[in-house]
Amino acid sequence: MENKSISLKTISSNLLVYGLSHAAVDGVCAAVIFTVFRNQIATTDLFIGLVVLYNALAFGLEALFGLFTDYFKSPRAAAFSGCIVTGLSAVFLPVPIVAVVLAGLGNALFHVGGGSISLNLTPKKAFAPGIFVAPGAIGILLGTVLGRSGQFAVLPSIIILTILCVSMFVINKPEMNYFRENISKQKSYYFELILLLLLLSIAIRALVGSVLVFPWKVDMNLVVVLTGAVVLGKALGGVLADRFGWIKVAVGALVLSIPFLVFGARAPFSAIIGMFLFNITMPVTLVAISNIMPGRPGFTFGLTTLALIIGATPAFLPIKQMFGSDWFVFCIIIISTLALFLGLKKYAENYEQKTAVD
């Protein structure tokens, strides 16, 4: 069962509303966390614990929330609830643990709902999910700046989230595909292998992003340009991959990113190019996993974020420094590239016509 053709107006309005909502939700969450830190509402040790707690909730619970969202077929309700809970986190700033828990829960709910809708805007294509995810980096940057500077204002953020929540019910929701196809024996045989390879590639991508050191990030102008590169990489990744082939674009971009990130991380121009290329793979891995698990968009989105938090975990451990060497980063990006190539190759052979992905 395939989704019917979706109008350009529906695609555009949903990407606009949910993309802006993504930036707003991530921005409020970042602002809440860094406001707690700046105002010294919590001790340093407690703050670190709160950051770990937030990441565990925001990334670790999405798979579980995705199961419920898919079961009740309620992605818009999940996204709406996520915005509301995120707004409440700002209200409870004087109570750090409550604020952080609400921020994590709200973030997870929104991503599952908005992510499910984006996966159904351009069925089986990487275009829409890439554009939906991209604005999150802008929100994180703005929220971090506002939180650290003490300029985060609760009331305006709640007003923005409220307007976006109302907008979700004004625009037309795309027809959601929750039909779970029967998997042939051949597909079933390769399902676990493809899923493992793609999740491994995602986890390693998260690890690389966590251990890379850019000493020039003290310059806010360069940070803004870097954020723009990340946003463009995710947004254009799906567009380019759908146009020229998933394997060529995603695997090619990951290979090309290696010299820029491994040997050029200390040079802003090189590192920014590397991060642009590095993020091109994101929408492809997400949609490929979604396509082998039809009818489960929320759970699919949650699995990818679970892989992200698992991959990023070493960044919170005392042994983080041992993962930051150039040659270690080089080796794990190579492993991620091989996993991505093999995963997409098996996907092309068993789930799609080969020419659609190559």
Spatial contact of 34 and 79, defined as CB atoms under 8 Å apart: no
Using a pLDDT cut of 90, give the percent of the chain over it: 80
Sign of the dihedral through C-alpha 138, 141, 147, 152? negative
The pLDDT tens digits for 241-254 are 999 999 999 999 99
CATH class of 185-357: mainly alpha
Is the confidence at residue 60, as pLDDT, over 50?
A: yes
Residue with tokens 């925001």: 58
Helix spans in the chain (H) = 8-38, 44-60, 62-72, 75-91, 96-121, 127-133, 136-149, 154-170, 185-211, 220-244, 246, 252-262, 268-278, 282-292, 297-312, 326-350, 354-357
Please tell me the distance from the alpha carbon of residue 34 to that of residue 10, in angstroms, as a whole number.
Answer: 36
**In the prediction, which pLDDT does 334 show?**
96
Can you give the residue ranges of every domain in the chain?
A: 8-170, 185-357
**In the prediction, which pLDDT does 213 show?**
86
Fold of the domain built from segment(s) 8-170: Growth Hormone; Chain: A; (1.20.1250)
- Let me know if the fold of 8-170 is the same as that of 185-357: yes
- For residues 43 and 123, the model is more confident at 123
The pLDDT tens digits for 262-304 are 989 999 999 999 999 999 999 999 999 999 999 999 999 999 9
**In the prediction, which pLDDT does 6 show?**
87
- Picking from 40, 51, 55, the residue whose alpha carbon sits closest to that of residue 148 is 40
Q: What b-and-e string marks burial along 338-355, b requiring 16 or more CB atoms within 10 Å of the CB?
A: ebbbbbbbbbbebbbeee
Sign of the dihedral through C-alpha 285, 61, 49, 39? positive
Mapped to the 3 state alphabet, what secondary structure does 307-352 carry?
HHHHHHHHHHCHHHHHHCCHHHHHHHHHHHHHHHHHHHHHHHHHCC
The pLDDT tens digits for 310-351 are 999 887 776 666 776 788 899 999 999 999 999 999 999 988
pLDDT band at 23 (very low <50, low <70, confident <90, very high): very high
**In the prediction, which pLDDT does 186 show?**
55
pLDDT band at 358 (very low <50, low <70, confident <90, very high): low
**In the prediction, which pLDDT does 48 show?**
81
* Least confident range of 23-37, 39-53, 105-119: 39-53
